Structure 1
Amino acid sequence: MKRFLLLSLYLLAFGTAYCTDYSKIDKQSETVPPNFKTPKEIARYLTHKLSSPTDKVRAIYYWITHNISYDVAKLNKTGFYSDNSDLVNEVLASRKGVCSNYSALFKACCDAVGIESYIIDGYIRQNGKLILVGHSWNAVKIGGQFYNIDATWGAGYLAKGKFVQHFNDAEFMIQPVEFIKTHMPFDPVWQFSSKPVSYKEFDTNNFESTEKNSFFNFSDSIKTISTLNPLEKLKRETVRITRNGTRNKLLDEILDYISSNIAVEELKQETIKFNKAVDIFNEGVRTYNKYILAVRNTKIKASNLSQLTDLLNQARQKNEKALYMALQVKTINLQLNEKLNTFKKSIEKEFSNIERENSFLLSKKQ
């Protein structure tokens, strides 16, 4: 499944820092030895003296925001990537990236030290203005509570087309009820709210509108997500987005994009089903060939007739199972349909071979 490369960056750094004093952690988290190059090495170095999950997250946030620069050259470029590890490898090699790189690296570091974290994609409001450009950030779960973190905005801002590295403490560990004022996830489950804000409310900056959703058990939904296959995840995400009220142009594009990914995942699943049917068919063919060799190499008599019949019955059963499995494959993909039709003809031919040999064995019993 491919994903959009999300690009947006906060234009100016505003916000009030939290009162918690992280100065000691910050001081020891600004750098890591140059030979530490993987998320696991970096995260473990940053956190090996820390016991609190919040302190560990702080160390990771501080290091990323001080050592990763925003890649302005990619600001107006769109692209796709197939795996978060590609984004992580890219940003660690160049020490610069866009928001997708920041969020992927943050999650990889959290994963390395056992912190439950998520990558969240959505769009934003900057300085009171709605920006319909994709953005990516993170959330962590600590002490049973969810907190939002935006390492991209925490790293700095753009000024006259250039990135200014300027640490923003206000993007660290934000309560969802506050974060939703500036960050709207595409999927409402990542609002971490039993009463998610609708897209219209966010877009109009009117959180008292009449477009209200019914109660939503986001916690159970998040737990379920990890148990689903990619196709089911995409289908349920589509349902949640569709139910969250009036959509803007960006959200319609996201739904189209998800729909294309659903088609890809459906093709993958149907191809897997097809390949399993082929495997069963091949087992039957091998059993049939074993029967043919036995007929050629031994003289058929009453003592071995039962064994030969058993081999032929096994081949028939495999062939029947392969046909049943082939009939379960449903696809509009022309290439797979062509393979499927050819495969069904092979099954029919094998049935003919088996029936011919069955008639031959019956004649020997008489």
Structure 2
Amino acid sequence: MRSVFYLWVCLLMAGNVSAQKVATVQELAQWIDSHYKDSALKVSAAYRWVTENISYSTEKAFAINHGLDKRAVIDVAFERRKGVCENFAAIFSELCRLMGFRSEVIEGYTVQHGAMDEVGHAWVAVNMENDWYLFDPTWDVQYRPAYKYYKMRGDEFISSHVPYDPIWKLLPFREESRKRGAIANNYKDSLEIFLSMDSVSKFRSAAKRIEADRAKNRLVNANYKVVKGRLEEQLQELQVKDYEKSVSFMNEAAEKMNDFVDYRNARFRPLKSETEIRMMLSGVDGMLDSALVYLSKVDRSEAVLVYGTGPAREHESALRKKLRTLEAFVNQYFATAANEREKLFSQ
């Protein structure tokens, strides 16, 4: 159980942060971080500032928008001092992050008076004191300073807040076991693995968890589509990067061969040693091999829309053929008597 007394002490010691005139989230985070040494006081000061200085807005401009830039979600609301749950959560989470805490904005739905709210919601998970805790600054605006949704554990929070991604329930015991202590759920280790993943793996694993979760409703289904859409976007971006890397390697190979052709057209002038001449084509095979590796990655992409690599493979094949021709010329050149080599440039 949380210590109510300790919470009150933290909030009282945090002082009147709302009186500070700050222009940016970064400036506020620096101010709090420099004025409080205790980690709990830093978090409580940030929470108090958000709940006292950001007012809830019903303007359409502040409605949750999955396509909005994350920076804009924070900066616009911070400047105007108003926003919806997404803005409250994003600002508080960013303050914590800037002060060195691991923090994540969690999206989900809420249950009030036994019924699910038809509008999605956002809150925050913060890692402090070697554990994860949940915060809802939006709801706590009405309860300040006697906050009800500050630094809560998952098994307390779940009665009113249900995350779309089940991993953020932070339950110490598996839900299906029903009985406390039946089957332990090491959510901390699961989160360590999840948060260490690259963005594609994160969206992929989140989609699998949401799909497998028993809780299916309109909001969960809509979020599942959003996650799948983001996964597709990430896969498309990764595919583009792999294709561009392949093209880059082929361009590098072509440039190196063109430099050699220019030198050959100059009849190997100025003079270079055999080793130096052969080095001019050294590494081209490896560049083309790397190009094929990235083209294979494109072919194996899980994206719905996959780039066609046929033309690129044909280009690589042509470059490889050109390389063999140039290598054959070099071999012939050095196998020919020195006084006969000049004739090779005219063939």
Q: Which residue of 2 aligns with 1:174?
A: 152
Q: Is the CA contact 1:100–1:136 (under 8 Å) kept in the aligned structure 2?
A: yes
- TM-superposed CA distance for 1:106, in Å, is 0.2
| Residues 102-149 of structure 1: CA deviation (Å, up to 9, x unaligned) | 111001111222233322111101233211422110122332233221
Q: Is the CA contact 1:123–1:186 (under 8 Å) kept in the aligned structure 2?
A: yes
Q: Which residue of 1 aligns with 2:262?
A: 293
2:110 is aligned with 1:124: yes
> Take 2:283 and 2:132, find their aligned partners in 1: how far apart are those partners?
56
Q: Residues 250 and 358 of structure 1: is their aligned pair in 2 closer, same or farther, counting only changes over 3 Å?
A: same
Question: What is the one-letter code of the residue matched to 1:21?
Answer: W
- TM-superposed CA distance for 1:337, in Å, is 2.3
Q: Residues 316 and 111 of structure 1: is their aligned pair in 2 closer, same or farther, counting only changes over 3 Å?
A: closer
Q: Residues 261 and 299 of structure 1: is their aligned pair in 2 closer, same or farther, counting only changes over 3 Å?
A: closer
Q: Which residue of 2 aligns with 1:226?
A: 195
Q: Percent identity?
A: 21
2:311 is aligned with 1:337: no
Q: Is the CA contact 1:118–1:139 (under 8 Å) kept in the aligned structure 2?
A: yes
- TM-superposed CA distance for 1:290, in Å, is 1.9
Q: Which residue of 1 aligns with 2:128?
A: 142
Q: Residues 129 and 350 of structure 1: is their aligned pair in 2 closer, same or farther, counting only changes over 3 Å?
A: same
Three-state SS of the structure 2 residue aligned to 1:174 is coil
Q: Residues 332 and 235 of structure 1: is their aligned pair in 2 closer, same or farther, counting only changes over 3 Å?
A: closer
Q: Is the CA contact 1:277–1:325 (under 8 Å) kept in the aligned structure 2?
A: yes
Q: Is the CA contact 2:25–2:75 (under 8 Å) kept in the aligned structure 1?
A: no
> Take 1:54 and 1:350, find their aligned partners in 2: how far apart are those partners?
62
Q: Which residue of 2 aligns with 1:248?
A: 217
Which is worse superposed, 223-232 or 79-88? 79-88
> Take 1:353 and 1:147, find their aligned partners in 2: how far apart are those partners?
62
Q: Residues 154 and 309 of structure 1: is their aligned pair in 2 closer, same or farther, counting only changes over 3 Å?
A: same
- TM-superposed CA distance for 1:215, in Å, is 4.6
> Take 1:63 and 1:146, find their aligned partners in 2: how far apart are those partners?
21
Q: Which residue of 2 aligns with 1:151?
A: 137
> Take 2:234 and 2:249, find their aligned partners in 1: how far apart are those partners?
23
Q: Which residue of 1 aligns with 2:18?
A: 30
> Take 1:50 and 1:355, find their aligned partners in 2: how far apart are those partners?
68
> Take 1:256 and 1:143, find their aligned partners in 2: how far apart are those partners?
35
Three-state SS of the structure 1 residue aligned to 2:197 is coil
Q: Residues 76 and 305 of structure 1: is their aligned pair in 2 closer, same or farther, counting only changes over 3 Å?
A: closer
Say what the alpha-carbon RMSD is for the aligned residues: 3.2
Three-state SS of the structure 1 residue aligned to 2:123 is strand
| Residues 37-73 of structure 1: CA deviation (Å, up to 9, x unaligned) | 1223213334533332222221111111111011111
Unaligned segments of structure 2, at least 5 residues: 337-347
Question: What is the one-letter code of the residue matched to 1:319?
Answer: L
- TM-superposed CA distance for 1:76, in Å, is 9.1
- Give the alignment partner of residue 100 of structure 2, picking from 99, 110, 114: 114
Q: Which residue of 2 aligns with 1:192?
A: 170
> Take 1:253 and 1:182, find their aligned partners in 2: how far apart are those partners?
20
Q: Residues 122 and 168 of structure 1: is their aligned pair in 2 closer, same or farther, counting only changes over 3 Å?
A: farther
TM-score by length of 1: 0.78
Q: Is the CA contact 1:18–1:170 (under 8 Å) kept in the aligned structure 2?
A: no
> Take 1:274 and 1:31, find their aligned partners in 2: how far apart are those partners?
53
Unaligned segments of structure 1, at least 5 residues: 1-16, 158-165, 199-206
Q: Is the CA contact 1:47–1:59 (under 8 Å) kept in the aligned structure 2?
A: no
Q: Residues 137 and 83 of structure 1: is their aligned pair in 2 closer, same or farther, counting only changes over 3 Å?
A: same
Question: What is the one-letter code of the residue matched to 1:25?
Answer: M
> Take 1:290 and 1:121, find their aligned partners in 2: how far apart are those partners?
55
> Take 1:261 and 1:185, find their aligned partners in 2: how far apart are those partners?
17
> Take 2:291 and 2:303, find their aligned partners in 1: how far apart are those partners?
20
Q: Is the CA contact 2:124–2:136 (under 8 Å) kept in the aligned structure 1?
A: yes
Which is worse superposed, 60-69 or 168-177? 168-177
Q: Is the CA contact 1:40–1:113 (under 8 Å) kept in the aligned structure 2?
A: no
TM-score by length of 2: 0.82
Q: Which residue of 2 aligns with 1:21?
A: 8
Equivalent pairs counted in the alignment come to 328
